[in-house]
């Protein structure tokens, strides 16, 4: 049982324990300092296992976290994209290593976490399928699209069929010390450093440059392109007759390019590093509902394969039914068929010139 020390993983562990499963707690030590997965979390996880009377193991994963998450984030921001660390972390730092450790060191047959999602086996396709959680407000399937069939086949989500309110009630019923523990709202790195900007300051030196509009006019100065993301409006530090948004980040010229809101709507994008989690790669274009950020709703779109329809299909073109605001390179695009997660990948950056040209075209078109 993967334990972060929070109420969700605590209730998931207690649920399995009360169902009669032989539970072994496992906490990954990802980094020093405060944060839901670190020192405080390890103490709470150890206390929970003591309360339940089950073993608790801590695995030092700091080097893995540094290589796959910290270095990944820094390189992405340096390249002018906004990386999404959670999906990367789930596959390469958490679920993959957890499953390997559970099998090799503990003789465990399955792993479980406190994520809000569901897994089922489809006998018709002979595939395990990842599904949204019953509680749509807590659903975390967006972050789990990159899991493999092997992982899904050995994975349990005890909270997938219940709401967060029910989880709190169960924590009180079980008498868990985490019952009233506040919920984590941010990335663990943000919790530790206070903000993503503070975290990046440790790795990236300030490189001020120009803020320009889509016509090339200089409007002000920026503090380093790693401090900006597509669609950002606040914190630009420039005065204008209308609100301005970040349209593109030009790493080569060290420029932040801004435009009006209409110019940050995009009719399409390309997605790479695609993982087909619940379905086989399609041979033909397919209609789906796609989610381009965690807190946005899924919108209608058509996927066009950009490679042969086999396991090597790792890029697709997405054409939205209606242009979408702030399609951000580095973030995940995840596509659904109802509650079923078909697959997902990472939004590719457009060449700056193409992005600016698209912005100008979109700004001049009727909305």
User: Are the CB atoms for 87 and 94 separated by under 8 Å?
Assistant: no
- Annotated active-site residue in 37, 38, 49, 89: 89
| Residue of 341, 346, 342 lying closest to 157 (CA atoms) | 341
Pick the closest to residue 323 from 239, 253, 263, 257 (CA basis): 263
Q: Is 38 among the residues known to form the active site?
A: no
Cα torsion at 88, 94, 96, 97 (round to 10°)?
130
Catalytic site residue from 37, 38, 188, 269: 188
Residue 30 near residue 68 (C-beta atoms within 8 A): no
Distance (Å, whole) CA 192 – CA 186: 10
207 close to 304: Cβ distance less than 8 angstroms: no
> How do beta strands 209-213 and 255-259 pair?
parallel
Long-range pairs of 198-202 with CB within 8 A, sequence gap ≥ 24: 199/73, 200/73, 200/74, 200/77, 200/226, 200/227
User: ∠ at Cα 17 (15, 19), nearest 5°?
Assistant: 70
Q: Is 49 a catalytic residue?
A: no
**Do the strands 286-291 and 245-250 form a parallel or antiparallel pair, or are they unpaired?**
unpaired
Listed residue (259, 240, 237, 220) closest to 352, CA to CA: 259
Task: Give dist(CA 337, CA 333) in Å, integer.
Answer: 14
DSSP state of 263: G
Report the catalytic residues: 89, 188
């Amino acid at each position: 049982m993967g334990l972060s020390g929070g109420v969700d993983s605590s209730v998931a562990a207690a649920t399995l324990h009360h169902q009669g499963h032989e539970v072994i707690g496992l906490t990954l030590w990802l980094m020093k300092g405060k944060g839901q997965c670190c020192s405080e979390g390890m103490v709470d996880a150890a206390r929970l296992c003591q309360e339940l009377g089950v073993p608790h193991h801590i695995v030092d994963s700091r080097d893995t976290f540094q290589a796959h998450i910290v270095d990944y984030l820094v390189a992405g921001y340096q390249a002018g994209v906004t990386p999404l660390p959670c999906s990367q972390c789930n596959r390469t730092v958490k679920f993959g290593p957890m499953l390997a450790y559970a099998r090799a060191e503990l003789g465990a047959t399955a792993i479980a976490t406190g994520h809000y999602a569901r897994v089922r086996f489809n006998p018709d396709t002979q595939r395990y399928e990842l599904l949204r959680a019953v509680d749509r407000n807590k659903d975390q399937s967006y972050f789990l699209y990159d899991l493999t069939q092997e992982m899904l086949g050995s994975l349990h989500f005890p909270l997938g069929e219940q709401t967060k309110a029910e989880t709190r009630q169960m924590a009180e019923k079980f008498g868990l010390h985490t019952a009233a523990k506040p919920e984590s709202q941010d990335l663990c790195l943000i919790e530790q450093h206070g903000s993503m900007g503070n975290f990046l300051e440790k790795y990236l030196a300030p490189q001020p440059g120009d803020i320009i509009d889509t016509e090339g006019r200089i409007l002000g100065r920026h503090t380093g392109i790693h401090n900006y993301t597509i669609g950002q409006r606040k914190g630009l530090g420039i005065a204008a007759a209308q609100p301005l948004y970040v349209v593109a980040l030009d790493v080569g010229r060290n420029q932040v390019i801004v435009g009006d809101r209409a110019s940050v709507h995009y009719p399409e994008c390309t997605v790479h590093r695609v993982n087909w989690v619940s379905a086989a790669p399609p041979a033909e274009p397919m209609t789906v509902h796609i989610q381009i950020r965690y807190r946005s709703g899924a919108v209608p779109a058509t996927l066009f394969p950009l490679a042969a329809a086999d396991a090597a299909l790792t890029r697709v073109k997405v054409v939205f039914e209606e242009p979408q605001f702030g399609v951000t390179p580095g973030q995940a695009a995840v596509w659904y068929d109802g509650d079923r997660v078909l697959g997902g990948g990472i939004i590719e950056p457009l060449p700056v010139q193409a992005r600016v040209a698209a912005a100008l075209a979109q700004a001049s078109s009727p909305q």
